[in-house]
Structure 1
Amino acid sequence: MRGIINGKIITKEGIVHNKLLIFGEKILQIANEDDLGKFQLEEILNANGNFISPGFIDLHIHGSGGRDTMDGSLESLKVISNTIKKNGVTAFLPTTMTMSKDRIYNALTVIKESMQINLGGAKVLGAHVEGPFINEKYKGAQKPDYIIKPSFKFIEGFKDVIKIITLAPEKDENHDFIKEIKEKTDIILSIGHSDATYEEAIEAIEDGLSHSTHIFNAMTPLNHRKPGIIGAIFNSDIECELIADKIHVHEAVFNILNKIKGKDKIILITDCMQAGGMEDGLWSLGGQEVIVKDGSARLRNNTLAGSILTLNKAVKNIYESTDLFLWEAVSMASLNPAKALKIDDKKGSIDIGKDADLIIFDKDFNVLNTIVQGKTVY
C-alpha cells in the first residue's frame, strides 16, 4: 500500500484538497491527510502542491521516440510505451497505417503479444486500425497503393486485438462490413479518411458507426448546402477524436466543438508519429518521408502527416483555449477514451476500485510522476 499526500486530486466532478490518496494496484481509499498515521503505508509520495490526475489514454498514436507501430516489433512498442509515459499516458492503442496486408498483420500480431506483458511504461490496450478501408480522395498521409474495400475477412483473425477501425463508409457496399462488425464483434467503427456525403455518413451512423477519427481532418467539410461528415457528426451523438495541437485545428474551433458536441463526446488524441519526442528533421510515416519542423509533421507535398503532439500538451491547449474546467479537460484524455472502450469501470478516473493509473503534473502541465497499476514507471 502506498499513499500520495499534499496534492490537488482531480476527480471527474472537481478538485479535492487536503486528502490522502491510498493505492495498491487499485485505488483503495481517499482519506483525510490528518489520518495519515492510521495507515501502514510502505511509501508516501509528496505531490508538493501539484495536481494528482487519472492517467491519460491515447486512442490514436502511430509512434514516438523514433519508433512506429508499423515497425512490427515488440522493441518498438516498448520504446513508444516508455516515451509517452513521460507525457502522462498510462494506456494506449498503437495505431496501424494503410500498408501491405503482411505489414498490418505483423503489427497486429506484435500488438496482441504486447497486451499480455509489462512494457515498463504505458499499457497496450489493443490496436486502432486506421486504413486500409479508406477513400483515396481523403487519404491524407496514407499510401494509396494499399487502399482496399472494407472486408470482414481481412480483420477476422484479429477480432480480439482490434478496438477501433477507421473507415470510409461510402466504400462499404450496403454497409455489409459495418453490419457484420456490429453483429460479431465489439470493435468501435470510426468514420475517417472519407468522402461521404452528409446522407451517407448519417446512414452509416444509424448502421453502427459510433466514433469519428481526428474530426475536421481528412473528411468532407461543413457547408450550408452540403453538410458533409462534419454536419453528420454535429447532428448525431457520436464521439469525436480531436488533435488539439493548434495546427490540425484552429484553437477557436475547440470552443465551437465543445459547445456543439459537449464535453463528454470529445476525446483528445495525439495521432503522434515516430518523431514524437525527437528532434526536427526527416522521419517517416506509413512508408512515406515526413519533414518535421516548427512543431508540425508534413509530407513533401505539405500534407499534414500525423503530429508530434503530446497528450499533456493537448490537455493544456484545450484547457487554455476554452471555458472548460480543468477536470473537464482532463476527462477528455482519460475518462472519455475509457468510456469509448467500455473500460471506464476499471480506468479513466480517480475512483475507489479502479486501476491505480495516476499521474502528477504541475501548473504548466509538465508530468512529474506516472504510475501504472500502482507501480511508478516515471
Structure 2
Amino acid sequence: MKKIYGLINGKIIHDYSIIENKVLIFNEKIIDILDLQEIDRYKNIDLIDVKGKFISPGFIDIHIHGAGGSDIMDGTIESITNISNTIAKTGVTGFLPTTMTMDRYTIYKALNIVRQATYLDIQGAKVLGVHMEGPFINEKYKGAQNAKYILKPDFDFIKEYLDIIKIITLAPEMDEGYKFLQKMKDYSNITLSIGHSNATYDEAKKAIKSGIKHATHLFNAMTPMHHRDPGIVGAVFNSNITCELIADKIHVHPAIFQLLIDIKGVENLVLITDSMRAGCMKEGIYELGGQKVIVKSGSARLENNTLAGSILTLNKAVKNILENTNIKLHEVIKLVTQNPAKVIGIDKNKGSLNIGKDADITIFDEDLNIYFTVVEGKIVFNKL
C-alpha cells in the first residue's frame, strides 16, 4: 500500500492565493487539501508538521548547465545525479539539463546521458528532458559559448533526439530562409527560443511569426532595445512570447525586474538560473564548455570578463524578485512553477498543487530558505 503523507501547520501556495489552516494530503500525486478535522478519512497517514512555513509547488528550472561541481557536458550519469541532488536542496523538483556549443560528439554524449537519466531514479530533482543551447547561435552574441563549434540550424543534427529535446535556443537570422523554423513546426512538443542572436527587430518579429515561442535569458546575449533600433528585446516586448530572466541582479539590473513584469505580465515570465558547475560551490576556478571560468564576488566570468552562466539558485531568484517588485509571493512562485511547466508542455501534470497532479512540493520559510523537497511523492530533502 502506498504511503500517504499529510503536511500540517503550513501556508499552502495555491493558484491564486495562500491557504492557511488546511492539510495537504499526497502520495505520488496530490490527493486532497482539507481541514485538519477531516483527515480521519485517510488511514495510516504520516503527518508532517511544517511549523508555519510555506508549502509550494516544486520549482522547475528549464535552463541550467550544472551545479555542485558537475556539468551536463561531463556526459556522465554521476554528474547529472550530483546536479539533481544539489539543486533539490534549493527547492528544485524538475529541470532541463542544458547543453553548450561544443563538438558534435560531446553534445551527443550529453544528450544520450540525459535520455538515460530520464528513466532512472536519481534521488533528487527529476530530469524532464533537455534544453539545447547552441550550437545554432550567432558568433557576435556567443557569450561564453565556443565560437569554434557554431553551426547553422540543422534538422539532421537533432533528428535522433526529438524525444528528449524540450527547448532549442537558436539565432533565427542564421537559419537561411527560416527552413529550420518551418521544419520544426511539425514538432510542437519542442519550444523554439530566440537567444545568442544578432537578429534585428524585423528579423525577430518574423521569426516569432515563423515559430519562435520563447526568449532565452532576455537581455543577455541578444540585440538590445534602442529607441531607433528596438532589436530582439523590443520584439519580445511587442509580442506574447514567454521569456526567461536570470534574476541574480548581475545579469540584469534589479530596476528592470518590475519593468519587465509590467510589460510582459506575470504569466509570460520564467525565472531560470543558467547555473554552471560552480553553483552551490565556493569561489575559485572552474570550467564551462571547455573554457576557464573565474567565480568571484557572486558572478562567474571568462578570463575576458564575459559572464559565463551564473551561480544563482532558484530560491534566491524568487527572493530577488520579491524584494525588487510589487508582485505577491503566490505570483512570484508561478515564475518558477506553472510558467516553466507551460513552456515545456508539462503543466497538466506539474507546476501546481492541484489535486491529481504529481506531488512535487517545496517547503520554505519567509527568507526562502528550503527545508523540504518532494519529487513525485518521494522526500528527497528534509531538514524540517
- For 1:178 and 1:289, locate their aligned partners in 2 and report how far apart those are by CA, in whole Å: 33
Partner of 1:254: 257
- For 2:128 and 2:189, locate their aligned partners in 1 and report how far apart those are by CA, in whole Å: 14
Identity %: 58
Post-superposition shift, 1:37? 3.4
Contact 1:67 1:76 in 2 (8 A): yes
- For 1:189 and 1:143, locate their aligned partners in 2 and report how far apart those are by CA, in whole Å: 21
Secondary structure, counterpart of 1:156 in structure 2:
helix
Q: 2:217 aligns with which of 195, 204, 214?
A: 214
Contact 2:189 2:344 in 1 (8 A): no
Measured against aligned partners, the alpha-carbon deviations of 1:101-139 in whole angstroms (never above 9, x if no partner) come to 000000000000000111100000100000000000000
Contact 1:159 1:185 in 2 (8 A): no
Partner of 2:321: 318
Post-superposition shift, 1:185? 4.9
Partner of 1:116: 119
Secondary structure, counterpart of 1:90 in structure 2:
strand
Measured against aligned partners, the alpha-carbon deviations of 1:52-74 in whole angstroms (never above 9, x if no partner) come to 00000000000000000000001
Say yes or no: does 1:363 pair with 2:334: no
Partner of 1:202: 205
Contact 2:257 2:321 in 1 (8 A): yes
Contact 1:169 1:201 in 2 (8 A): yes
TM-score (norm 1): 0.99
Cα separation, partners in 2 of 1:61 and 1:31, compared to 1, 3 Å? same
Contact 2:140 2:198 in 1 (8 A): yes
- For 2:309 and 2:22, locate their aligned partners in 1 and report how far apart those are by CA, in whole Å: 40
Matches within 5 A, 1:141-220: 141-220=144-223
Partner of 1:75: 78
Partner of 2:275: 272
Secondary structure, counterpart of 2:86 in structure 1:
helix
Q: 2:88 aligns with which of 85, 88, 97?
A: 85
Partner of 1:56: 59
Secondary structure, counterpart of 1:134 in structure 2:
coil
- For 1:46 and 1:293, locate their aligned partners in 2 and report how far apart those are by CA, in whole Å: 39
Amino acid in the other structure paired with 1:355:
D
TM-score (norm 2): 0.98
Contact 2:91 2:370 in 1 (8 A): yes
Amino acid in the other structure paired with 1:146:
Y
- For 2:65 and 2:11, locate their aligned partners in 1 and report how far apart those are by CA, in whole Å: 32
Partner of 1:130: 133
Say yes or no: does 1:12 pair with 2:30: no
Q: 2:27 aligns with which of 18, 24, 28?
A: 24
Secondary structure, counterpart of 2:185 in structure 1:
helix
Amino acid in the other structure paired with 2:293:
V
Say yes or no: does 1:106 pair with 2:100: no
Measured against aligned partners, the alpha-carbon deviations of 1:217-250 in whole angstroms (never above 9, x if no partner) come to 0000000110000000000000000000000001
Unaligned runs of 5+ in 1: none
Amino acid in the other structure paired with 1:75:
E
Secondary structure, counterpart of 1:369 in structure 2:
strand
Measured against aligned partners, the alpha-carbon deviations of 1:79-108 in whole angstroms (never above 9, x if no partner) come to 000000000000000000000000000000
Partner of 1:289: 292
Partner of 1:66: 69
Secondary structure, counterpart of 1:230 in structure 2:
helix
Amino acid in the other structure paired with 1:230:
V
Say yes or no: does 1:94 pair with 2:97: yes
- For 2:359 and 2:72, locate their aligned partners in 1 and report how far apart those are by CA, in whole Å: 26
Post-superposition shift, 1:42? 3.3
